[in-house]
Amino acid sequence: MTDRVRRCTECGKAQRLERRTTAYPQSGLSNVQLQNVPVWVCSEGHEEFEIPAVTQLHELLAHSIIRKPSLLNGAEIRFLRRRIDCSAKDFAEKLGIKPVHLSRLENDVRPLPRRVDLLIRLVVAAYLAKKHGKSFPDDMVRLIEQLEKTWDIGTHRLKHVDSATPDREWEEASA
């Protein structure tokens, strides 16, 4: 097999191809390691990484993140938001929160409530499914059920209304 020759973009010297396991900080995720990545190295020590199929890699990362069993962390929220090409302001609006709250979540300043975690996963899953012309993933339906449980839809308000003070006490207070 013939070695491929390429020139360094920094110094112009010939580079040789190596394959390595390396971190992928460009993803914004500190726990991502890429295996068998082509790395071009020159005699001056300059390195250039070649990541083939980066779009598919990001899709795989998003798929893994939205299905992980534990709560999302700030870097994962930011990665997912960027994956669907959404500004922080627009993403916060989709989630029904303020942009400053989203910023605090993305920077791990505030704890992520379970219902917001579920909602983020559902928004991203729905967007990716629509983008690829597919139906909503069956394995994500359980998240909708979990989200419904976290909101306890309507029952609290009904109980509160049922236990309201009788009308005559309201009349006395306004008199």
Give residues with Cβ within 8 angstroms of 5, minimum separation 6.
14, 15
Superfamily of domain 54-154: lambda repressor-like DNA-binding domains (1.10.260.40)
The pLDDT tens digits of the residues spanning 86-104 come to 999 999 999 999 999 999 9
Q: Where are the domains of the chain?
A: 6-49, 54-154
pLDDT at 42: 95
Taking the C-alpha atoms of residue 144 and residue 40, their distance in angstroms, rounded to an integer, is 46
Look-up of token digits 């010939």: 14
Low-confidence ranges of the chain (pLDDT < 70): 1-4, 151-175
pTM (two decimals): 0.75
* Sheet of 14-23, strand order: 6-7, 14-23, 33-42, 47-49
Taking the C-alpha atoms of residue 62 and residue 57, their distance in angstroms, rounded to an integer, is 9
